[in-house]
Amino acid sequence: MVVPREDLVRRVHAGTVVLMDRDVDSESETRQLTADLQRWNAETSRVPLWVHGFITTKEWAGPRDGQIAQRCALQDAEELCYELGRRWRHLGLHTYPSPTVNVPIHETCIMRAWAISDDPDTATRYSRAITRGLIRAGCGTMAQHFPAHGATAVDSHQDVPVIELSRTELMRDHIPPYQASFREGCTTICTAHLRCPALDPDPGRIATTSRPILTDFLRGELGFRGVTIADAIGMVGFQKMGDPGETCVEAVAAGCDSICVTSDDDAACSVFESLLRAAGLGQLTETRLNEAVGRNLSFKQWLQERAPA
């Protein structure tokens, strides 16, 4: 089992830790590890750790969204996700990795088996039900991968995809599931490491580093108020954009409030140092940093107010 190192929580003062399938096997093991993480965090911080549960292959983790949509009526889907959210919170986990609102139009798109449906209306209805159930349980949600990773045949784990759709097509078929989730209180979104010319014509930017997409469109037009998380920076779609540290700075400047690092401790420390250096040089303004920190703290406060009995 790969256990997050204690000194990483202390040294980098991580506000969030992501647990993946490789980190735990059983529910009891998960409960113990989340308790240990909070104990290590409390040695250096008065603010509780946000533990994101990206645990997907364990039987106790529940079915993926596509399976839920195939097996359950809408009300049943909401109740199932309510129970999954309650389970997550009792294990010490705070964010369930749903809804996966990519509307797949290619067999090779990212995480196709996770997607709710290739029908936009079905995806929208189940996005609402899944989000509503999890939020009712006091569990965070993560809509992924913004803005429309189902609309490209290339997986950003392997290359830099490009969405070749018009804005009209995006707004008709791919954005409504996000809007439905946002209306139900979706707490976080995960960005896509892809180019979307209809929303940002600059070929040098992916959605993760695009202010037009993450600030002007996501927050300005769609009204999202939660935490924006950059998808894992070890993915090829991110790595191909240049120096990872500099790209992380661009991502935060564009509107990402959190950076996902799933590779190793050294990568997390390198990102931390890059952000510190950028702040010192004025590349990241105090206003932008306060905004990102404020959103993370607001979510943690939301979690505390809804802590399970």
What is the structure's pLDDT at 8? 77
Residue 1 lies in a domain: no
- Does residue 73 lie in a domain region? yes
Listed residue (153, 151, 158, 204) closest to 178, CA to CA? 151
Q: What is the pLDDT of residue 269?
A: 85
Mind giving me the DSSP string for 173-213? IISHHHHHHHHTT--EEEE-SSB-TTT---TT--GGG-HII
Residues 6 or more apart in contact with residue 159 via CB below 8 angstroms: 236, 237, 240
pLDDT at 4: 56
Please give the structure tokens belonging to residue 173. Answer: 């078929």
The domain that holds 45 is classified in CATH as 3.20.20.300
Residue 244 lies in a domain: yes
**Cβ 72 vs Cβ 62: under 8 Å:** no
The verdict on whether omega for the bond into residue 149 sits within 30 degrees of 0, i.e. cis, is: no
Q: What are phi and psi of 259, to 5 degrees?
A: -115, 130
Q: Is residue 193 one of the residues assigned to a domain?
A: yes
Kindly tell me the sign of the dihedral angle through the C-alpha atoms of 301, 303, 306, 308.
negative
Which residue matches tokens 């409390």? 42
Q: Express each pLDDT in 53-69 by its tens digit.
A: 999 999 999 999 999 99
CA distance 291 to 138: 23
What single-letter amino acid sits at 229?
A: I
Q: Could you list the residue range(s) of the whole structural domain that residue 34 is in?
A: 6-305
Q: Residue 170 falls within a domain, yes or no?
A: yes
Q: What integer pLDDT is reported at residue 172 of this predicted model? A: 97
pLDDT at 137: 98
Q: Give the Cα separation of 249 and 261 in Å (integer).
A: 14
Please report the pLDDT score of residue 128 as a whole number: 98
In a domain, 38, yes or no: yes
Using the structure block, give the residue that is written with the tokens 């946002």: 182
Does 140 map to a domain? yes
Model pLDDT, residue 7: 74
Bridge partners of 146, per DSSP, are 191
pLDDT at 153: 93
Domains held by the chain: number:
1
pLDDT at 118: 95
In a domain, 235, yes or no: yes
Exposed, middle or buried: residue 136 (CB in 10 Å: 0-12, 13-18, 19+)?
middle
With 0-12 / 13-18 / 19 or more C-beta atoms within 10 angstroms meaning exposed / middle / buried, residue 297 is middle
**Token representation of residue 175:** 């954005």
Say whether 68 sits in a helix, a strand or coil. helix
182: tokens are 């946002």
Query: Residues in the chain with pLDDT < 50?
Result: 1-3
